[in-house]
Amino acid sequence: MMIKQTLSAQSFIQSDIYKMERIKREANLDWLKRAYESFALDNITGWSFIVLAGGKDVASFRIRVAQSHLRGDMLPSYWSECALFKIQDGDFSSAAFFNLPLFQPATATYAPTRNGLIELPFNKLPTQKDYPNLALLAIPVPQEQILQSLAEYQKSRVSYDAVENILPWLAFVWGAGNATNPLMQQIGFPSAMVLNQIFSANGFDLAPGVNANLSAPETFWSGVKHWQDYYSKTQVNGLQPKMRYVVDHMYDIDES
């Protein structure tokens, strides 16, 4: 069953979105650097960045299939994770990713004290073998505002319990008990829920046309790809999101 959502009624408009293939066996870190630099933004401080990643292990497969209900063709999503990409003035040495992973690292502090959020240094990004699909989204909201909201969010579990969303997704991924697709229960993907709430608080809707409770990497992908006309009419600064992506892995079922 498809999940009902509003379709974009836009006519074609010019947008800065395109597929950027890897150069030979280009590593994920190198691809992201090249994608970031390709935006050639005049005022870099006015933008924030989000990374979508698609894995091909069993857990990633189940997450990607769960999001097929958000697609008209019912095919698995390309994406199994999303994260805020923090980078100051193109300095990759101090860059990092922020997300809310289903599999919380054992070495991290007690999850509820940080609302489940994890900071991953740029050079710790999994390899192309782990994440063959990547997308970098440039969102016209100042990164400073987003980082401030993120810091507040991390301390605001009383207002929003981000850790709560991990449990139904983990149960679904593991096939525990009678667990069903969380999206069919209006439970968004944990990392996506965090990002959508933070950006919404700063006046940007990452997933137009979809109930906020259905936030997922797929809805961010669809929002930037298909809602450019909406953004052109609603963004006060007149700027539209941009995107670079590479898809090196799709699920083809062949039992012959």
In the chain the beta strands, taken as DSSP E runs, fall at 17-19, 48-54, 81-88, 91-99, 118-121, 133-139, 242-246
Q: Of how many residues is the chain composed?
A: 256
In a domain, 251, yes or no: no
In a domain, 150, yes or no: yes
Q: How many other C-beta atoms can be found within 10 angstroms of the C-beta atom of residue 67?
A: 26
41: left (phi over 0), alpha (psi -120 to 50) or beta: beta
Determine contact, residues 162/124, Cβ cutoff 8 Å.
no
pLDDT of residue 232: 86
Give the total number of structural domains in the chain: 1
Domain that holds residue 96: 17-246
Are 58 and 156 a contacting pair, CB within 8 Å?
no
Q: Quote the pLDDT of residue 59.
A: 96
Contacts of 24 (CB under 8 A, 6+ apart): none
Task: Round to whole Å and give the CA distance between 27 and 126.
Answer: 10
In this prediction, residue 253 carries a pLDDT of 65
> What backbone phi and psi angles, to 5 degrees, belong to 209?
85, -5
127 part of a folded domain: yes
Q: Each residue's pLDDT tens digit in the chain (256 positions)?
A: 555 555 555 544 568 999 999 999 999 999 999 999 999 998 999 999 999 999 999 999 999 999 999 998 899 999 999 999 999 989 999 999 999 999 999 888 998 899 999 999 999 999 999 999 999 999 999 999 999 999 999 888 767 788 899 999 999 999 998 999 999 999 999 999 999 999 999 999 999 988 888 999 999 999 999 998 889 888 878 889 999 999 999 987 666 5
pTM of the model: 0.93
Phi/psi of residue 240, each to 5°?
-115, 150
CA distance 240 to 231: 6
Query: Residue 130 sits in a domain of what CATH number?
Result: 3.90.1720
Backbone angles phi, psi at 95, to 5 degrees: -70, 155
Residue 2 lies in a domain: no
Among 93, 111, 110, which Cα is nearest to 29's? 93
Residue 128 resides in a domain: yes
Show the DSSP H helices in 202-254 as ranges.
Answer: 217-226, 228-234
Q: Is residue 47 part of a domain?
A: yes
φ, ψ of residue 156 to 5 degrees: the values are -115, 40
Q: For residue 221, is it within any domain?
A: yes
252 domain-assigned = no
